[in-house]
Amino acid sequence: MIAVPSPLRLRLSSEALVANWRWLARQSGAAACGAALKADGYGLGARAVMRHLAAAGCRDFFVATWAEAAALMPLPAGVSLSVLHGVGEDDMVAARLLPARPVLNSVEQVQRWRDRGEGQPCDVMVDTGMNRLGLRVEEALGGALDGLAIETLHSHLASADEDSEQNGQQLAAFRALHERIPARRYSLANSAGVCLGDDYVFGLTRPGIALYGGIPRVEAAEHIRQVVFPEARVLQVRAVPAGETFGYGASWTAPRDSRIAVVNLGYADGYLRCHAGSGGATWEGQALPLVGRVSMDLTAFDASDVAGMREDEWLHLDYDLPDVSARCGLSQYELLTGLGSRFERIWN
Ligand SMILES: *Cc1c(COP(=O)(O)O)cnc(C)c1O
């Protein structure tokens, strides 16, 4: 096999990832701080994220599906993995064979695990007001979980990124569950929930986005570092005379004799068309605004004011998550999880 270099890459900082986890772990106080690894580690690569965080001391990991769990095997020594979407009929073989626990989400799933889980450990999700996944509080308190050996009892906050009354309501509901349903541990907070303070952390926290550089609430802004740095190679630098246009729809007209750098990046890579108008990149510290539309695998940046820009140089895309999110309208989560497989992921 020949090694084929990719013209686009994600530079990933393991140092920033671990520093973000350590900050979240400090905010979690006496509670253990886990890590959500679903969607391939929010697009960074779940295996590598797990390896770096396990080496730093993280012990509790969460994925959405059994396919995601299988892709993480074999697990590093001493870590635990929970599968948030529970266990459907088709998941039973994987759930029995893999060293991971289902997070049981419904009375049906609890029954399935009682009947055929062979006494293996499980987590349980109780819904405290989001109405997405989880048993209803009445079901949980009404006997549906009696006698079940629960490793971790979870609930999930719907509005933790806002100063919403719903946070206090969900906290009160979870406290009632904490008093009445025995489990080895209790877990309520995602990244934003960790920022809500000590009341929300219980025995285990489940941050995701903040590990990867997202700012879930202002309280985190000074502490969370950027982890993901996308770069794209310049395929061509072309002179566009004043008055000529660029690209599909001829949506950009050169206001002066211009030089544009065309890079190997587009919406097929998760760099979506909404970046047009606000996107940008830098090269050797100089800013290059995006021009025209984003195509499937090509995007152009204005290099008119950048001396020395040539083919084969690498542009650093603007990817500060809260800033880019505010400018293009995608959420910080979408900005990460959309990054496609054509990016070579390079950790340092
Ligand atoms: C995704 C997820 C998390 C992590 O949420 P972030 O907002 O990324 O911190 C935690 N718990 C559950 C149940 C989730 O689905």
135 CB less than 6 Å from ligand 1?
A: no
Q: Is the domain of 199 the same as that of 265?
A: no
Q: Is the domain of 287 the same as that of 162?
A: no
- Point out the ligand 1 atom lying closest to the alpha carbon of residue 36: 4
Whole-number Å distance, alpha carbon 151 to ligand 1 midpoint, is 18
Extract the runs of DSSP E, i.e. beta strands, from 188-273: 204-205, 228-240, 245-246, 252-253, 258-263
Whole-number Å distance, alpha carbon 286 to ligand 1 midpoint, is 36
The SS3 assignment for 96 reads helix
Across residues 179-191, what is the average pLDDT? 98
200 is known as an active-site residue: no
Q: Among 47, 114, 96, which Cα is nearest to 76's?
A: 47
Q: Is the domain of 195 the same as that of 241?
A: no
Q: Does the residue 220 lie in any domain?
A: no
Residue 1 pLDDT > 90? no
- Which residue out of 20, 63, 84, 170 has the highest number of ligand 1 atoms within 8 Å of its CB and is therefore the one to mutate? 84
Over residues 238-273, the pLDDT tens digits come to 999 999 999 999 999 999 999 999 999 999 999 999
The two three-digit tokens of residue 120, written as one number: 């293996």
Q: Is the domain of 148 the same as that of 286?
A: no
Report whether 175 contacts 155 (CB < 8 A).
no
Q: Is the domain of 271 the same as that of 167?
A: no
Q: Does the residue 221 lie in any domain?
A: no
Q: Is the domain of 85 the same as that of 129?
A: yes
Choose the catalytic residue: 186, 212, 248, 267: 248
214 CB less than 6 Å from ligand 1?
A: no
- Point out the ligand 1 atom lying closest to the alpha carbon of residue 160: 7
Backbone Cα Rg of the chain:
23
271 is known as an active-site residue: no
**Summary mean pLDDT of the chain:** 97
Q: Give whole-number Cα distances, 296 to 24, 96, 231, 264, 285, in Å.
A: 37, 42, 16, 10, 27
Over residues 299-347, the pLDDT tens digits come to 999 999 999 999 999 999 999 999 999 999 999 999 999 999 999 999 9
Final residue of a domain: which of 160, 184, 215? 215
